Amino acid sequence: MLKMLRLLIVFLLFSQSCKANKEYFVFTSFHEPANQGLRFIYSKDGIHWDSIPGIWLKPEIGREKVLRDPSITRTNDGTYHLVWTTSWKGDLGFGYANSKDLIHWSKQQMILVMKNEPTTVNVWAPDIFYDDERGEFVVVWASCVPFRFKKGVEEENNNQRLYYITTKDFKTISKTKLLFDPGFSSIDATIVKRAKDDYVMVFKDNTRPNRNLRVAFAKTPTGPYSQMSSTFTQSYVEGPTVEKIGTNYLIYFDEYQKFKYGAVQTKDFIHYNNISKEISIPQGHKHGTIFKVPASYVENLKKTYELSLNQKTDSNSNVLSVIK
């Protein structure tokens, strides 16, 4: 009897531990016209996604005050760091805020990464990557500085290149540097670490008529990137993000002309299998990034939204004032 009781206790402790360690995939999102704010969808398996209702950060900065291309990474202290596009044109930086629970957010900041390039047309799709080797963030984005590069096939005000900064705290920011110049307009980059000294960058070839995805490789997240691939998607896709499931990498992308999402699966970023028919994404979801959170965070988001429906909007509450 005592032996059975001990086994039961061990089983219960194991079950509680598994439950506590359970994680979900979360995908940052926005809906057009991108003036409402940050949304989330989530998945238990990384394939089938459901909406988390609510708007969790309303954009307050930038010329156009939009929140597009939201990108999040988590640091070891449990802080989630968010960057986003604040305007289509006219801003010289991107938005930044952080949170411990994805519900309560810090004051929004404009990170003026192109302030020394006043002719800059845009700062698009900042993607945040945490470099655990150096203990710093790398943020990569696309900007057009007219007449800076060979024109190619694009209009001068759409001749984009990929830039980056590094920072440990978003207070002291490195000098802005060129990350990648493939010789043509390129945007929407995201960085993946496969192993030490082994990084992959997925990005959009923004030239007409291509507008599809490619990859390049480097030994550090800040490059230099080389071995640029040919395209591995059809045309008219953008906003790639990558998740790893087992030994496979899934690259999600926004098929913006078809108003839906697509995905490919790869083990080596050389050979790809299109799995677009296997995934399910809620209607209206626009591109962001995928990261993992404890399952309890998703449940807290849902409960907070449900609570907001049963209470009158409190103008002094950051949470209730932005959830709809």
Q: Taking residues 197-205, what's their average pLDDT?
A: 98
HSE (CB half, 13 Å, CA atoms) of 319? Answer: 17
Q: 214: phi > 0 → left, psi -120 to 50 → alpha, else beta; which? A: beta
Give the mean pLDDT of 55-72.
98
Helix (H, G, I), strand (E, B) or coil at 8: helix
Domain ranges of the chain: 25-311+318-322
Q: Could you confirm whether domain 25-311+318-322 is CATH 2.115.10.20?
A: yes
pLDDT digits (tens, 9 = 90+) for 145-162: 999 998 888 899 999 999
Average pLDDT of 70-81?
97
Instruction: Tally Cβ neighbours within 10 Å of residue 207.
Output: 19
Average the pLDDT over 270-275 and give the result. Answer: 98
Q: What is the pLDDT of residue 20?
A: 53
